[in-house]
Structure 1
Amino acid sequence: MAAGATLQRMPRPVDTLPKAHLHLHFTGSMRVETVRELAAKHGIRLPEALTSGWPPRLSARDERGWFRFQRLYDAARACVRDEADLRRIVREAARDDAAEGSRWLELQVDPTSYAPFVGGITPALEIVLDEAAAASREEQTSVAVVVAASRIRHPLDARTLARLAVQYAGEGAGSVVGFGLSNDERRGDTAEFAAAFRIARHAGLALVPHAGELLGPAAVEATLDAIEPDRLGHGVRAVEEPRVLDRVAESGIALEVCPGSNVALGVYATADQVPLRTLVEHGIPVALGADDPLLFGSRLAAQYDAARALGFDDDELAELARGSLRASRAPAEVRDAALAEVDAWLDAPA
């Protein structure tokens, strides 16, 4: 090295940073190659956006854009038609997460979607849980399940799913650890789903509804009022109202922030507009998530790369990883071991 030259430190690889993944949807977790193979297996024709045009260009700022997103999601979901398909998705999600440093995955699933092919919602959930347990034994990450109701169905359906989730509630891999509410947040009245979340709360499940991505701070506040969640899926648009942002910070809940989703759905035009720095500076716990890699074209490690592009250094990335682990429902021994690995990641030479 020439005299006076400065040794430049290379950033540590984010795919080796131990972390938890708390926002990943079952169908949306699929590899694009998998959905193509399942389509061929079942004789289903896929939209061009899932074949030669992948990843699709999306925007859900209006009803038309959301319809296109939902149509593609439904097309992918229609390719999941038997027990082997369900098991394959769980197993590949575990492997893909493990390859990107995830030590704990909470995979979100609505068993209603797959019930017609395997004999009902109970067998559908049992298959997913059984494979989650097997993958946790045999792969390099542990997998638990969040049962999610849909906003576009009747609130009574949500209560049915909450009661089902309670039957399989547990504290470790292969168990149901949370109850969520997803789909177009412009649909349905959040307060009408509160009874389902009360059922889940009594069983000790984490309450993890979506809010504050397609709609603004009023939706975040309505969800806080109606459900009193433990975590909030997205929640990024709380930054648009300082009072709501302060309330989120004071509540202590974690936000599952998904930069790739935010940009792909047109919530923000570019990744540098995602308000991750604002959330962190307000003391809000953040867990980065990939949401739907099948449609957005980016997995978990890419979300940490997005944070690095926003100026987060290795110490700050490590704290995001710690936040994901602390906000998770991982057993203490899993969480503590992963937290120690985060410290080791930081201590290792860059």
Structure 2
Amino acid sequence: MARDIRALPKAHLHLHFTGSMRHATLLELAERDGITLPESLVEDWPPQLSAADEKGWFRFQRLYDVARSVLRTEGDVRRLVREAAEDDVRDGGRWLEIQVDPSGYAARFGGITAFTDLVLDAVEDASRETGLGMAVVIAANRTRHPLDARTLARLAAQYAGRGVVGFGLSNDERRGRTDEFRGAFEIARRADLALVPHGGELLGPSHVRTCLDSLGPTRLGHGVRSSEDPQVLDRIVQAGIALEVCPVSNVALGVYPDLSSVPLPQLLEAGATVALGADDPLLFGSQLAGQYATMRAAHDLEDDQLAELARMSVRASRAPNSVRDSVLAEIDLWLSEADSSGEGRTTERKS
């Protein structure tokens, strides 16, 4: 008998704004405004993706841009945030740090500051309505000029302590020069924001090393391929840098051939802090609890190992201490439930 994954309290640290949209919401909003969606976002959903080459990533990004285009009104933005919160609560989420690049919405919503205000207000409302602790990570796009990243870093710093807890760098890590974004991360560092660039998914440990040297991350978005170089992985462990590992998207994008190949056991054995995340459920078809369920099945994880993964997600978060303490106590309770009670337990392996 295995405890119910959805009942396990956890934090969610790697969820992209547009990618958090429900598939049903995407279809409804597209129909409302007469937007024609690619078949891979309709009948063939979730799409078959691979980012092994530039063409594959371009296709992935095109689907992402199409999905972003259905968000036309303030109400759409509020709905997306509320539904993302509801989905996390259903999956046992207690704290969510949702990542957004305001420049992707600036033209439609009155600029990056106005859009950030809207998102933060929507987050506050959704948190109050669902009981989920929530915060925002502002992310720059590495395919744009590093000066744009500095603008977003200053924006993030402006809202530090007012709902924004981190600064990231996303998109195809094979493009742009990571060291050119050092200045943006220095701005965010001075504001005491969590530094959470993507790295070590599409590129290997050499790029992880570049991220460590140039950006000084607090957490690393993905970082899973640090397992390929023991010295790089040991450096991560010694520095206490958490890895935001997203197993389902790793497989969907062709980083690993199957879920059993995702090197979670190697990362944990080395002493790495790992926070499982869903990345983009809209494109990968799997929510937060699904990441825990697939890793349980692929690597025969015991309940105490799953509980420790949940604890690591909480400890690596920017949740207030009171929230951290409360959720950690809930995790202990989940693990200590009497086997004979049958409560909160299931034989299911899927979420």
TM-score for both structures, normalised by structure 1 = 0.95
CA distance in 2 between partners of 1:113 and 1:87 (Å): 16
CA distance in 2 between partners of 1:44 and 1:112 (Å): 22
Q: How do 1:85-234 and structure 2 match up within 5 A? A: 85-170=76-161, 175-234=163-222
Letter of the 1:184 partner, please give it: D
Unaligned runs of 5+ in 2: 340-351
Q: How do 1:269-308 and structure 2 match up within 5 A? A: 269-308=257-296
Match of 2:47 in 1: 56
Residue 254 of structure 1, CA deviation: 0.3
Q: How do 1:24-39 and structure 2 match up within 5 A? A: 24-39=15-30
Letter of the 1:330 partner, please give it: A
Match of 2:320 in 1: 331
Secondary structure of 1:53's counterpart equals: coil
Letter of the 2:17 partner, please give it: F
Question: Does the 8 Å CA contact 1:81/1:114 hold for their aligned counterparts?
Answer: no
Letter of the 1:135 partner, please give it: A
Question: Does the 8 Å CA contact 1:135/1:142 hold for their aligned counterparts?
Answer: no
**Cα RMSD for the two superposed structures:** 0.8
Which has the higher mean CA deviation after the structures are superposed, 33-42 or 123-132? 33-42
Match of 1:340 in 2: 329
Match of 1:75 in 2: 66
Residue 37 of structure 1, CA deviation: 1.1
Letter of the 1:311 partner, please give it: D
Matched, 1:321 2:290: no
CA distance in 1 between partners of 2:146 and 2:25 (Å): 32
Cα-to-partner distance string for 1:173-200 (whole Å, 9 max, x where unaligned): x600000000000001111011001101
Residue 95 of structure 1, CA deviation: 0.5
Match of 1:254 in 2: 242
CA distance in 1 between partners of 2:131 and 2:251 (Å): 30
Letter of the 2:318 partner, please give it: R
Q: Count residues in correspondence.
A: 338
Matched, 1:41 2:29: no
CA distance in 2 between partners of 1:137 and 1:32 (Å): 24
Secondary structure of 1:108's counterpart equals: strand
Residue 229 of structure 1, CA deviation: 0.5
Unaligned runs of 5+ in 1: 1-9
Cα-to-partner distance string for 1:216-253 (whole Å, 9 max, x where unaligned): 00010000000110000000111111221221111110
Residue 42 of structure 1, CA deviation: 2.0
CA distance in 1 between partners of 2:204 and 2:228 (Å): 7
CA distance in 2 between partners of 1:212 and 1:300 (Å): 21
Residue 140 of structure 1, CA deviation: 2.8
Secondary structure of 2:2's counterpart equals: coil
Match of 2:346 in 1: none
CA distance in 2 between partners of 1:329 and 1:94 (Å): 17
Question: Does the 8 Å CA contact 1:207/1:231 hold for their aligned counterparts?
Answer: yes
Secondary structure of 1:127's counterpart equals: helix
Q: Could you list the runs of 4 or more consecutive aligned residues of structure 1 that deviate by over 2 angstroms after TM superposition? A: none
Letter of the 2:49 partner, please give it: L
Secondary structure of 1:149's counterpart equals: strand
Letter of the 2:163 partner, please give it: S
Residue 141 of structure 1, CA deviation: 0.9
CA distance in 2 between partners of 1:257 and 1:199 (Å): 26
Residue 349 of structure 1, CA deviation: 3.0
Letter of the 2:134 partner, please give it: V
Which has the higher mean CA deviation after the structures are superposed, 60-69 or 318-327? 60-69
CA distance in 2 between partners of 1:209 and 1:255 (Å): 10
Letter of the 2:96 partner, please give it: L
Which has the higher mean CA deviation after the structures are superposed, 305-314 or 152-161? 305-314
Cα-to-partner distance string for 1:272-307 (whole Å, 9 max, x where unaligned): 000000000111100000000000000000000122
Question: Does the 8 Å CA contact 1:149/1:161 hold for their aligned counterparts?
Answer: yes
